[in-house]
Structure 1
Amino acid sequence: MAPKVVWLFVFVALYWAYCIFWGIKSARMAKTASDYFIAGRQISLWVFVLAATATSFSGWTFMGHPGLVYRDGFQYAYASFYTITIPFTGVLFLKRQWMLGKRYGYVTPGEMLSDYFQGDAIRILTVAVALLFSIPYLGVQLGASGFLFNVLTDGLVDANFGMWILSLVVLIYVGTGGLRAVAYVDTLQCVLLALGIVITGVIALNHAGGWDALQGGLAKLGASDIGKWGTTKGYGGGDYNAYFAIPGVIQWTAGLGKETPVGGLWTGIMCLTYMFALMGIQSAPAFTMWSFSNNSPKPFAPQQVWASSFGIGLILFFFTAFQGMGAHLLGANGEVTKAGIALAAVLPDLTANKQGGLVPHYFNTIGETVPWLVGLLAVCALAAMQSTGAAYMSTAGGMLTRDLYKRYLNPTASHTTQKLFGRMGVAFIVVAALLVATYSRDALVLLGGLAVAFGFQMWPSLAAVTYIPWITRQGATLGLAAGLLGVIFTETIGATITGGALPWGRWPWTIHSAGWGM
C-alpha cells in the first residue's frame, strides 16, 4: 500500500473520531425535540459563523469550482462573486426569521409560513423544496467523495463502496446528535475547507514556477485562440480568447442542446442569474432552521461580511484561479502543451469533459514527495463535501417530522417520538441520496442542477413574511409552484420530461433556470 494511502486512512480515522464524538455528546444534550432539531436555540457566535460558512460553501466550491474555472476560463471565474451574493440573502432574511422563531417558537420554515399564510399548501411545498434540494444535492456531494477516494487510492477503493462507507459516518453523527452535532463538526469542516483550497492553490502555483511564470504563461495563452470556446468573435467588444473575456451581456440563443452561445456560456446575464441560483443556498428551508438555532442575532453580520464575503471570497479569487487557470499550463490542456505554452506536465489531459478530476489530480502530484499532505488534503475535501450535506440531512429530517408526521399523523407526539422520527427522516434522506447516486448518475446530474435554483424560489415567500405584507397566501403558494415549474422546464430535466418537444434547451437566452423561475 502506497504511503499516501496509509496517511489517507490515518487522517480519515482521526476525522471520523471527531465526528462521532460530537454525535454522541450532542445526543446526550438533546433532551427535547427543539434541542435535537435546532440545537435548543443555543448555538453560539463563533460556532454559527464557521458552521454557516461551511454549509454555504460546500464540496462544490472545493472540487467543482476549480474544474469549471479550468473548463470555461475567467468568464466563469466571475461566478466567484457568489461569496457575496450567497450571504446577501442572509443579510435580508436571517435576522427577521430569527426574531419570528424566537417570538413564536417555530422550529421549521413550514410552521412559520403556514402560520403566517393560514394555509397548509405552502407547508407541503416547503417540505417538497427541502427534499428536492437535499436529496440531489447530497447525492452529488456523497458521490464526489467516493470518486475522490477512488482516485487518491489509485483504484484500491471502489467509488460506490467508498461513497457508502463515508456516508455511514455522516449518518451516524447527524442521526444521533441532530443540528448541534452538525454545527460543532461544521466548525472544523470550515477551517479544513479554507485550508484545503489554499494549499491546493499553492501546489498549483508552485508547479507553474511562481507568480511571474504563471502570469507569463497566461499572457501567451490569452494571445492565442486555443480553448474550448475559441474566441468571442465580437461579443463583449472584441475578438478575445474566450478564456479571458465575457462573451457579451446576453446572447439570444435557444439554449444549450438547441443552440450553442458564441465564445462561451458565461455572458453577463448568465453570471448574474447563476449567482441568483446560488443565493438559493441561504434562502433554502435549511437556512431558516439555522437562523432559528441561534441564541442571538449577533453572529449573522460577521458570518456574512467577514467569513463569507471577505474570507472565502479572497481565497476563491486567488487560489481557485491558480488551480483552474494554472491547469492549462501544467499539462491538463493538450492543445496548450502542443503549442509549447505549457510550463510543466504534471497533470493528465482533462479536456474531454474530465474537469471534475482536477483537484484530486493536484493532490496526486505530491503523493510521492509529501504523502502525509495528500491524506490531510483528502480530509479537507471530504469535510467540504460533508459540511453542506450534513446540514441538509438534519434540517430535512426535522421538516419531515414536524411538518408531516407531527402535523398530520400524530399531533401529540412526545419529544422522544419526534427525535426518533427525526432520525428516521435523516436515514431516509441519506439512503435515497445514495440510491440515486449509485444507480442513476444521469438522474443525479439532472436533479443536481435543480437544487439551488429551487432554493431561490423561496424568496417571495420569505419576503412576504419578513417585509411585504400584501403578498397573499394564494400569491405565495402559486408563485412558489410556478417558480419550481419554471426552473424544471428551463433545465435539462424539462427536455427529458417532454421528450425534447420544447422549442428551447437548457438556459435559453443565456439566462439561468433560477432567473426563469423567478
Structure 2
Amino acid sequence: MSAFLSLNASVRWFLVFVSLYWLYCLFLSLRARFRGDSVHTYFFADRDVGMATYLFFATAISLSSWTLLSFSSIVFQGGLPAMLLAFSSIFVSLVGALTMRRQWLISRRFHFASPVDMYAQYFHSRSLTLTYLLFAWLFAAAFVIFYLYVASALFVRLSHGLLIFEQAVCLFGALLLVQSVVGGLRAVIQAGPLQWFLMIAGMLTLAVLGVYLSGGADSFVMKLSQLALIDKSFTAEGYSHYLAVDGLVPGLVSWVNLDLSHSLSSLVILACVATLAGFQISPALSFLAFANRTPKAFDLQQIGLSAGIGGLITWACIMSIAMGAHFLGANNDFSAKYGIPEYILFGYVKDFQLEGGNTDLFSLIDPFITFSTDVKSWFSGFFFVAIIAGLHACASLFLFTAAVMSAQKVSQLTSRTFRKTQRITFFVMGATVLLAALIYLTILDVINIKGLLFFALIINFQLLPALIAVCWWPFVTTL
C-alpha cells in the first residue's frame, strides 16, 4: 500500500482505471461461465444477444480507435482533404448495412451456426472454406498485434515505466486470452456498452480539447485559412493542399507519371475508403451478426449509430487533433508567421517531424493526454481505457471467432464433442496471441504494424464477391 501511495498521482489514477476496467471484463467472463457452459452458450451466446448489447458492441468495433491513431498523422500531413479518409468510418458502416440483415436471415433459414458453414454449404468448395478460415485468422492476428502494441506502448508511457514494454505485451496478451477463454462469446459481447461509452467519451473530450486550446471554434476556422497562406505544397490546380484535393483526372495523371509531390488525390482517397470496406466484410462481424437475437438492430446500428453519430464524432475528433496540432506548436512555419501559441502542447517541436517520416501512432495524441493530466491527474487513466476499449473489443471478437470457426472445422461441433472443440479453441487462441506477441517483439516496427493492418483489410475485401453471391446475386460467381 505504501508503494502505491508513493507513486505519482497520475500514475495512481492510471492504475485505478486500468484495474477497474479489467476487473469488470473478467467479472463478465466469470459470470458468463457460471451461467452456462454448453455448446450454444459458450460458442454462439445462444444466438440470443440482446438488441441494445449488439448496438453498443458493434458500434464500439466499427469505430475503434485504430482509425483515430492511424489517420491522425495522415490528416496532419494531408490537411482537410485527407479527412475524407476519416469518412471511411461512415462508408464502411453503410457497406455492412447491405449484407448483415441478409446474412442473419440466411443463417436462420438454413440453420447455419457460423459464416464458414454458410460458405461451405453454398459453394461446396473445400479450398474456399480453408481460404475463408485463413482470412479470418490473418485478420484476427493483425488486430491482436495492433492491440498489443497500442495497449503496451500506452501503458509504459502513462505508467512512467512501471513495466518494460515486453512485460506489458505479455500482460495484455494474457488478459485478452483469459477474458476470451473463460467466458466465451457472450462475455466478449457484454463488455460492449462500457467500451462504447469509454470510446465515445474519450473522442469527444479530445475533439473539444483541440478546438478549445486553439482558441475556440471561430479561431480554429480562422487559423485553417491562415495555414493555407503559408502552405508550400499545392494541388495540380495550384490550391493549398491543406484545403483542396486533386480531382480524379489530375490525380490519375500524377499517379501514372509517378509524381508524388502533390497531395492526396481523390483517386487515392476513393481506393483507400473502398479498401477499408473489408472491415465490415470480415468473418468476425458475420459471426457476430449470426449471434444476434433480431435483425431489427442491423440498420439502426450501421446507419444510425456507426455511420451517423459515431462516424461524425470520429471525423470531428481526428480533425480537431490533427489540424489543431498545427496551431499548438507542431508547425514551425505557422508559429513563426503568426506567433507562439498560448498553449504549446508540442514543446518538442524540433523532434516532431511527421513530415520526415515519424510514424509513432501517439505523436499527436501524447501532448493532449499530457496536458490533460497536468490539469486533472485522473485523465491519464481515462484516456488509456478510452483508447484501448474499442481495440480490445475488436481483438477479443476477432480472436475468439477465428478460433471457433477453425475448431469447428477440425472437430464437428456437437454436444458430444463440446469439450474437444473447446480445447482446440483454447489452443488456437493461445497460439495466435503467442505468435502475435513474438512477431511484434522480434520482427515488426510501427510502419509494418500499420501496413499489416491495412493488408488484412485488403485481404478481407476480396471476400466481397462471394458475400454478394451468397446474399444477393448468384450470377457473380459464374462470371
Matches within 5 A, 1:238-249: 238-249=237-248
What is the SS of the residue equivalent to 1:167?
A: helix
Inter-partner Cα distance in structure 1 for 2:152 and 2:107: 38
Aligned residue identity for 1:305: I
**What is residue 356 of structure 1 aligned with on the other side?**
361
1:110–1:124 contact (8 Å) kept in structure 2: no
Alignment of 1:186 onto 2:201: no
Alignment of 1:455 onto 2:460: yes
TM-score normalised per structure 2: 0.91
2:230–2:333 contact (8 Å) kept in structure 1: no
**What is residue 92 of structure 1 aligned with on the other side?**
98
1:7–1:375 contact (8 Å) kept in structure 2: yes
Inter-partner Cα distance in structure 1 for 2:79 and 2:180: 37
How far 1:342 sits from its partner (Å)? 5.2
How far 1:280 sits from its partner (Å)? 0.9
How far 1:335 sits from its partner (Å)? 3.0
What is the SS of the residue equivalent to 1:296?
A: coil
Post-superposition CA distance 1:20-77 (Å, at most 9, x none): 0111112223433332222110101011111111111223124223332223221211
Post-superposition CA distance 1:127-151 (Å, at most 9, x none): 1111121112220222111111222
Alignment of 1:174 onto 2:180: yes
Post-superposition CA distance 1:393-416 (Å, at most 9, x none): 11111111112x125xx9996122
How far 1:355 sits from its partner (Å)? 5.3
Aligned residue identity for 2:268: M
What is the SS of the residue equivalent to 1:157?
A: coil
Alignment of 1:46 onto 2:44: no
**What is residue 306 of structure 2 aligned with on the other side?**
308
What is the SS of the residue equivalent to 1:100?
A: helix
2:103–2:290 contact (8 Å) kept in structure 1: yes
Inter-partner Cα distance in structure 2 for 1:180 and 1:342: 52
Inter-partner Cα distance in structure 1 for 2:45 and 2:21: 22
Aligned residue identity for 1:463: I
Matches within 5 A, 1:91-490: 91-226=97-232, 230-232=233-235, 235=236, 238-249=237-248, 250-253=251-254, 259-264=258-263, 266-340=264-338, 343=341, 344-347=343-346, 348-349=348-349, 350-352=352-354, 353-354=358-359, 356-357=361-362, 358-403=364-409, 405-406=410-411, 414-442=417-445, 444-472=449-477
Bigger mean CA deviation after superposition, 314-323 or 46-55: 314-323
Post-superposition CA distance 1:278-306 (Å, at most 9, x none): 11111111111011101110110110121
What is the SS of the residue equivalent to 2:200?
A: helix
Unaligned 5+ runs, structure 1: 476-518
Identity %: 25
Aligned residue identity for 1:351: Q
Inter-partner Cα distance in structure 1 for 2:64 and 2:121: 32
Bigger mean CA deviation after superposition, 359-368 or 42-51: 359-368
How far 1:446 sits from its partner (Å)? 4.0
What is the SS of the residue equivalent to 2:100?
A: helix
How far 1:97 sits from its partner (Å)? 0.9
Aligned residue identity for 2:289: S
Query: What is the number of equivalent residue pairs in this alignment?
Result: 461
1:129–1:455 contact (8 Å) kept in structure 2: yes
1:205–1:211 contact (8 Å) kept in structure 2: yes
1:208–1:214 contact (8 Å) kept in structure 2: yes
Inter-partner Cα distance in structure 1 for 2:324 and 2:41: 47
What is the SS of the residue equivalent to 2:387?
A: helix
Inter-partner Cα distance in structure 1 for 2:181 and 2:332: 46
Inter-partner Cα distance in structure 1 for 2:330 and 2:276: 28
Post-superposition CA distance 1:255-287 (Å, at most 9, x none): 8xx9452322x2112212211111111111111
Inter-partner Cα distance in structure 2 for 1:201 and 1:30: 42
1:217–1:329 contact (8 Å) kept in structure 2: yes
1:277–1:456 contact (8 Å) kept in structure 2: yes
1:67–1:359 contact (8 Å) kept in structure 2: no
- Provide closer, same or farther for how the CA distance between residues 25 and 369 of structure 1 changes in structure 2, counting only shifts above 3 A: same
Inter-partner Cα distance in structure 1 for 2:166 and 2:220: 37
Matches within 5 A, 1:28-43: 28-43=34-49
Bigger mean CA deviation after superposition, 168-177 or 30-39: 30-39
2:284–2:397 contact (8 Å) kept in structure 1: yes
1:280–1:454 contact (8 Å) kept in structure 2: yes
Aligned residue identity for 1:400: S
- Provide closer, same or farther for how the CA distance between residues 68 and 354 of structure 1 changes in structure 2, counting only shifts above 3 A: same
Aligned residue identity for 1:293: A
TM-score normalised per structure 1: 0.84
Inter-partner Cα distance in structure 1 for 2:184 and 2:273: 30
